[in-house]
Structure 1
């Protein structure tokens, strides 16, 4: 059976196992010349692999059995599993890893010490400046990829800074002059590429920054932004004009909370105050002006980089483009 080039690229160990009606472990033994199979079964598996033009990635060649087949997806210290962004990212990572014959396991930050004992590679989410996970994994000889800003080892991230620069520039072009950035713990000394993009656009326009720094809470970002902004507005003297005419929020969830409190207080969005987000999360971002990141592409690139890490290639950072999405709030 002749395969197209695209078919060859998408063939996986799982597909061979399905066609041969055997386990993935049996396919791995046949492809890697390991004992435990009859000659007839081994030849059947090898014949199917040739028919589908199977070409294992560097990652698949490394991850063939036992602990080595497990990829730990590790959360940051302040991240919780139920955030919509992480649910969507985890779904895409799971698909991308399964296509390479890998098995994803979710690790809370408190389980980091267990990761080297249970997984042969890792993908790190939610890294902070004081994060000890990269050093821990490096010392344990566990290849890893970070989804985040450039730094130690392999990494991939959306081009946050450029996205926020373009969104801020767009609002300034509309005539907005009092633009506030809304994000979590902005006073903390850590890299914040989204904030950097906002600041760069303000500098270019000769405008002053205004930061609304939200405390970290183990609850929804929307509820946190609603409560904080509501208190801020309640504390303003009666009749005083709003200090901002645009709110650039670090996430869609924060933006939704801001839109809700403004509407509850009778502030017209976007006529009086524009509100924008980041992510373009399905369902949540309906009607929200935001910056779309391609979460499926981030997941796919993470797995590709993991293959390079396993193959011993030189580390690199990949920045993926983002897109402005104009809707009702801005």
Structure 2
């Protein structure tokens, strides 16, 4: 039996729920004056609640593809981990406020992006990423959410964040600190690893790493890799580390589950830290908080500069260590 596709939410549905006119909804979604900020936030909250997505085709008929921004995710579509889902939501909201329509493109759809969008935001950088070169060739303005390089880019201060987390563990007496991260043999995206190494070097300690393969379920991957190490221990013996610095909150949660299954006390015997401070997931986790909403807003601001032909720049946003129960 074939299931019917879910009905797309419409601007009329938002107006009905908010008990306002369609014109007021339009002003709220497009960042136009004429309504109070309280009403605007109320309308935007309803639009998020019912997963409203404006018709790109309708907007293009009015404004052309210049009104459309392509959001391109690296690797495979399956990479929509909680961090990227949250970032995508904030980007969508920030773009709506600018009166533009966001459209998702998988990384292998970059070739058709210039035909449908007037600008782009690139997420999820990976080795041999050809998207920036293709967009430059097609003269499509874009912003990368990632490390500094050619063109416009924005990112949290990853290196400093992991430096803070590692220094915190050292200050609390940890000396056998291991870093766990995705694909650590790859040259790209190792700023967090660099921060960990810097802190250990300053303390005269030896760095040790656990590299796990990139996977859509990072928590499960972290659990499996650590579980194999712990399962090899002789009964009653402790692991050869007293702290785990994890590249993401998801990896940290997998490690916490594995340590719990092996009756290893956290943080008494092994401390664990993460990175991102994802809502709900990091409720009891010592982690590094990055402001995902600020990253989205800065990406959209920089995209305006790119479209205007201004000189490119990189923006590094501050992070903060959040100490909770795990370390």
Q: Normalising by structure 1, what TM-score? A: 0.80
- RMSD, aligned CA: 2.5
1:104 is aligned to 2:109: no
Find 1:278's aligned residue among 253, 275, 278: 275
In the alignment, is the contact (CA less than 8 A) between 1:81 and 1:87 conserved in 2? no
1:132 to 126, 130, 133: 130
Shift >6 Å, 4+ stretches:
none
Quick one: distance in 2 between partners of 1:325 and 1:21? 39
Please give the residue correspondences for 1:186-201 in structure 2 after superposition, counting only pairs within 5 Å.
186-201=184-199
Within the alignment, does 1:18 sit opposite 2:15 as a pair? no
Partner in structure 1 of residue 150 of structure 2: 152
Distance 2:320 2:80 in 1: 25
1:64-104 deviations in Å (ceiling 9; x for gaps)? 81111110100011563531111111111011001111100
1:241 corresponds to 2:250 = no
2:228 paired with 1:231: yes
- On the 8 A contact 1:129/1:191 being kept in 2, the answer is no
Residue ranges of structure 1 left out of the alignment (5+ in a row): 1-16, 28-44, 53-62
Report the CA distance shift for 1:284/1:187 in structure 2 as closer, same or farther (over 3 A).
same
Q: Aligned pairs, how many?
A: 281
In 2, Cα distance between equivalents of 1:226 and 1:191: 22
- Higher Rg: 1
- Structure 2 match to 1:210: 208
Residue number in structure 1 paired with 2:263: 266
Q: Secondary structure at the match of 1:80?
A: helix
Q: 1:20, 1:128 → 2: CA distance?
A: 39
Separation in 2, partners of 1:221, 1:81: 10
CA distance in structure 2 between the aligned counterparts of 1:273 and 1:21, rounded to whole angstroms: 53
SS at match of 1:156: strand
Instruction: Tell me if the contact between 1:134 and 1:152 (Cα under 8 Å) persists in the aligned partners.
Output: no
Kindly state the Cα deviation for residue 170 of structure 1 after the two structures are TM-superposed: 0.6
